[in-house]
Amino acid sequence: MPKKRYLDESDFGWTKKKPTAAGGYGRGGPEYDGYVPGDGSVVIGGGGGICGGGSGVRVIVVDVAVARKKLEHLMEYLLLILSFLIFFIFSLKHLVGRWKCKFNLPPTPAWSLPVIGHLHLLKPPLHQILRSLSQSLGGAPIFRLRLGNRVAFVVSSLSLAEECFTKNDIVLADRPKFTFGRLVEYNCTTMATTSYGDHWRNLRRIGAIEIFSSHRLDSFLSIRKDEIRHLILCLSKNSLHGFAKVELRSLFGNFNINNILRMIAGKRFYGDEAEQGDEAKRVRQLLDEAVSSAGVGHASDYVPFLRWFTSYEKGVKKLAVRVDEFLQGLLDDKRAQKEKGNTMIDHLLSLQEIEPDYYTDVTVKGLVVVMIFAGNVTLTRTLEWAMLNLLNHPEVLKKAKTEIDTKIGLDRLIDEPDAKNLPYLQCIISEIFRLYPAAPLLAPHRATEDCIIGGYDCPRGTTLIANVWAIHRDPNLWEEPEKGKIKR
């Protein structure tokens, strides 16, 4: 119940009179047009005053701030309902009416809801859920999902995946845009998020020649060997007094980040001899937050009005500022050094001196951020799955150890060039990649033009998801696909 209040003379410009016996202020005389009795209401008219028995219209006066707040809440609810109706009508007209009449579309699950579509069906692990949806449609090699205001095609067939990335490779070379890419990855201008075109081709060329070439990777061999040595020493310390439990995920994650950041900027942030102090702690926390926030988007990327009710975008904006400060700090530290090193940033800054208009700080930071984000989780997960499977299959582990002892010996560690001489180990690695691909769904693609996939129309703007995990476990391609068979 809103709080009542008494009005005084300032509300009406009246001159104060003596209080009457009834508790109000008398308003005798024709010059007054109302009075304020003691119950908090206002009587308009009735110039005789409270003692004179004048009559008038009684109006209840409530707290103005409370009334205004209630009105604002009411307007917010009305705006939400109106936005919901507009969005629903537009989606229904655009995604159902237009497409049903114009396109031959692949099958779709029946459990689509208004506005959100099939979003309620998706949960981790996403690649397994998508395979289950494909199986519910009779093992459909391609099916369609409505994800809020977006439409996605999910491909679970090797032949259709080849069709997508050979016949339709140019049409499907674009990427869908998400809040994380827009805010953290410099308005979707990095190698992983930019649209197909000259800028994308230039970034690919830089990556192939300046970053991922055999010559460049070989120059970082000593870094990788040193980080492997640190990892082995860490495990050895844990087992000095007998068997000990080890949390491999954090160890592999630290090892991987050190590898990447030493090649990029020449810095270690985990383990012994790491960068000390608050800066190192902030960097470690920042990378963890960035990796956890990245992915195929938030619910608000598919249902835009949810941005009004979630703090996701606000959080990503703050994260983007911190990521940019970290990356800019890496560049500034390298510029401040008198002698140039052999890191990736050193080589990119050398290119910046030659072509400053193209190799801007944003371009360099975009290349660096992709290497950090794309290279971190993928390798860590692969190492974790490999160790898990070897420990669960001791007979395979024993054969691999025997091969290494026989062909490498016991007096040194394995070097990268030794891998080609270890066929059984290579088979183990290949089977791990098949069962546990580093990116089970790859990065999503987006159709820039209408095209045909598997005989179905793929309209412009459709998001394409290739379920590599399901393809690698397709019984039409592999005998007993769920089992790990080293001799495949």
DSSP for residue 322: H
CATH number (domain holding residue 466): 3.30.43.20
Same domain, 265 and 326: yes
461, 151 Cβ separation under 8 angstroms: yes
Whether 205 maps to a domain, the answer reads yes
Kindly report which listed range (233-242, 422-431, 462-471) carries the lowest average pLDDT score: 233-242
Same domain, 319 and 366: yes
Q: What is the pLDDT of residue 464?
A: 98
Res 33 pLDDT > 60: no
Q: What is the pLDDT of residue 25?
A: 45
Report the mean per-residue pLDDT for the chain. Answer: 84
Domain end among 392, 418, 446: 392
CATH number (domain holding residue 296): 1.10.630.10
Whether 57 maps to a domain, the answer reads no
CB count within 10 Å of CB 44 equals 13
Instruction: State the DSSP string of 64-110.
Output: HHHHHHHHHHHHHHHHHHHHHHHHHHHHIIIIIIHHHHH--PPP--S
Structural domain containing residue 145 = 100-176+437-487
Q: Which sign does the torsion angle of CA 185, 188, 190, 193 carry? A: positive
Q: Structure tokens of 476?
A: 């039409």
Host H or E run for residue 155: strand 150-155
Same domain, 306 and 371: yes
DSSP for residue 308: G
Whether 354 maps to a domain, the answer reads yes
Host H or E run for residue 313: helix 312-336
Q: How many structural domains is the chain composed of?
A: 2
Q: What is the pLDDT of residue 186?
A: 96
Whether 299 maps to a domain, the answer reads yes
Instruction: Calculate Rg over the CA atoms of the chain.
Output: 34
Instruction: State the DSSP string of 158-179.
Output: HHHHHIIIIITTTTT-B----H
47, 60 Cβ separation under 8 angstroms: no
Same domain, 165 and 229: no
Query: What is the three-state SS of 75-87?
Result: HHHHHHHHHHHHH
Q: What is the pLDDT of residues 42-85, one digit of tens each?
A: 444 444 444 444 444 444 444 555 566 667 667 766 766 766 66
Whether 221 maps to a domain, the answer reads yes
Res 15 pLDDT > 90: no
Same domain, 189 and 308: yes
DSSP for residue 273: T
Specify the long-range contacts of residues 159-166, CB closer than 8 Å, at least 24 apart: 160/453, 160/454, 161/466, 161/468, 161/471, 163/453, 163/454, 164/445, 164/453, 164/464, 164/466, 165/466
Same domain, 257 and 348: yes
Q: What is the pLDDT of residues 366-375, one digit of tens each?
A: 999 999 888 8
- DSSP alpha helices (H): ranges in 195-277? 198-206, 214-218, 221-238, 248-265
Whether 469 maps to a domain, the answer reads yes
In sequence order, which residues have a C-beta less than 8 Å from that of residue 378 and are 6 or more positions away?
Answer: 438, 439
Same domain, 139 and 184: no
Kindly report which listed range (41-45, 140-144, 339-343) carries the lowest average pLDDT score: 41-45
Measuring CA to CA, which residue among 477, 461, 460 is closest to residue 469?
A: 477
Q: What is the pLDDT of residues 204-224, one digit of tens each?
A: 999 998 888 999 999 999 999
Whether 329 maps to a domain, the answer reads yes
Q: What is the pLDDT of residues 34-54, one digit of tens each?
A: 444 544 444 444 444 444 444
Same domain, 202 and 330: yes
DSSP for residue 480: S
Whether 371 maps to a domain, the answer reads yes
Same domain, 343 and 258: yes
Same domain, 261 and 286: yes
Helices (H) and strands (E) in the chain, counts: 19, 9
Same domain, 270 and 377: yes
Domain end among 392, 425, 449: 392
Same domain, 139 and 280: no
Higher pLDDT, 276 or 346: 346
- 81 burial class (0-12, 13-18, 19+ CB within 10 angstroms)? exposed
Cα gap 154→133, rounded to integer Å: 10
